[in-house]
């Protein structure tokens, strides 16, 4: 009775953040007991880098090495968007297995399990980004900017992936089962990633498609990251990237919290 009343009472932001970080750490500890999860974090980005570099390189740029310099920042964004969709499967699995019901019996804030799961998946995305960077470096990719712009590009990509985790969390909370989530992932990720400048510049696209590509959030984040690592002017790209990230967070984080409260 005491635990239930403690969990249901309003919690201070600091307490919610502390409990969320604790549960995020709990989520990450699962990797130690199930190291096969590292395969999912590493094989997908490796496949993306190798597949798109060698498949499109000669056709788009005439040389895969030259194409790698263009495509790698965009592939990093694409890999993290796909990785963020795992949050939907994780939430749906936790709901069906009763994990959230068990956590509610603990003397923690009601939002902590939601925040912890999203933060844990966001940390996993750091691993995905690191794998993309390592594979690109092995293939010969070299950024033309200094360490600070490169770190800024990584921060922008990771911030956008965190926002996408909230969108995926909402999908996982609303979906009836994993089959529904598979359809959601396809409908969302394919237009976002393939209908962008990840693979080709907008100048090579027809007018109607170019219009969508230019406003696509994946395009904005990819262009910002690409400009930062190549040392070209990035101010407007960074602004657009941050605006899209903030918009996705502002829309999907409250909706995910509302859906979580209704489901639990």
**Alpha-carbon gap, residue 229 to 142, rounded angstroms:** 9
**Alpha-carbon gap, residue 173 to 22, rounded angstroms:** 21
Token code pair at residue 181: 């989530």
Q: What pLDDT, on a 0 to 100 scale, did the predictor assign at position 35?
A: 67
Confidence of residue 136 (pLDDT cuts 50, 70, 90): very high
Q: What pLDDT, on a 0 to 100 scale, did the predictor assign at position 123?
A: 86
Q: How many domains does the chain have?
A: 1
Contact call for residues 116 and 26 (beta carbons, < 8 A): yes
Q: What pLDDT, on a 0 to 100 scale, did the predictor assign at position 73?
A: 93
What are the tens digits of pLDDT across the range 11-34?
577 777 777 777 777 777 777 766
Torsion, Cα of 202, 205, 208, 211 (10° steps): -10
Q: What pLDDT, on a 0 to 100 scale, did the predictor assign at position 15?
A: 75
pLDDT at 1 over 80: no
Using only C-alpha atoms, the chain has a radius of gyration, in whole angstroms, of 19
Token code pair at residue 50: 């190798």
pLDDT at 262 over 90: no
Angle at 244 between CA 230 and CA 22, to 5 degrees: 95
Tell me the three state secondary structure of residue 101: helix
Question: Which positions ≥6 away from 75 have C-beta within 8 Å?
Answer: 45, 48, 49, 52, 53, 132, 198
**Alpha-carbon gap, residue 224 to 218, rounded angstroms:** 10
pLDDT at 76 over 80: yes
Token code pair at residue 254: 């409250």
SS3 content of the chain, % helix, strand, coil (to 5): 85, 0, 15
Q: What pLDDT, on a 0 to 100 scale, did the predictor assign at position 204?
A: 65
Nearest to 140 by CA among 64, 253, 201: 64
Structural domain of 29: 2-263
Angle at 91 between CA 177 and CA 44, to 5 degrees: 90
Q: What pLDDT, on a 0 to 100 scale, did the predictor assign at position 33?
A: 66
What are the tens digits of pLDDT across the range 237-255?
999 999 999 999 999 999 9
Contact call for residues 74 and 198 (beta carbons, < 8 A): yes
């Amino acid at each position: 009775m005491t635990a239930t009343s403690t969990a249901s009472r309003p919690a201070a932001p600091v307490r919610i953040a502390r409990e969320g970080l604790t549960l995020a750490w709990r989520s990450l500890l699962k990797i130690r007991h199930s190291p096969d999860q590292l395969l999912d974090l590493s094989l997908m980005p490796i496949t993306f880098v190798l597949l798109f570099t060698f498949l499109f390189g000669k056709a788009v740029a005439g040389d895969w090495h030259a194409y790698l310099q263009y495509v790698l920042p965009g592939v990093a964004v694409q890999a993290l968007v796909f990785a963020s969709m795992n949050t939907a499967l994780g939430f749906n699995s936790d709901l069906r297995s009763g994990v959230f019901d068990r956590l509610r019996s603990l003397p923690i804030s009601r939002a902590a399990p939601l925040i912890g799961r999203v933060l844990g998946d966001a940390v996993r995305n750091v691993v995905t980004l690191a794998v993309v960077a390592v594979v690109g470096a092995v293939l010969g990719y070299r950024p033309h900017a200094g360490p600070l712009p490169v770190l800024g590009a990584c921060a922008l990509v990771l911030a956008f992936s965190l926002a996408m985790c909230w969108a995926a969390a909402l999908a996982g909370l609303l979906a009836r089962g994993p089959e529904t989530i598979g359809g959601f992932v396809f409908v969302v990720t394919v237009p976002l990633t393939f209908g962008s400048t990840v693979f080709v510049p907008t100048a090579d696209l027809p007018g109607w498609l170019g219009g969508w590509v230019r406003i696509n959030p994946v395009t904005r984040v990819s262009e910002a990251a690409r400009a930062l690592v190549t040392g070209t002017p990035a101010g407007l790209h960074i602004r657009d990237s941050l605006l899209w990230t903030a918009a996705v967070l502002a829309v999907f984080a409250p909706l995910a919290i509302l859906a979580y409260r209704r489901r639990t």
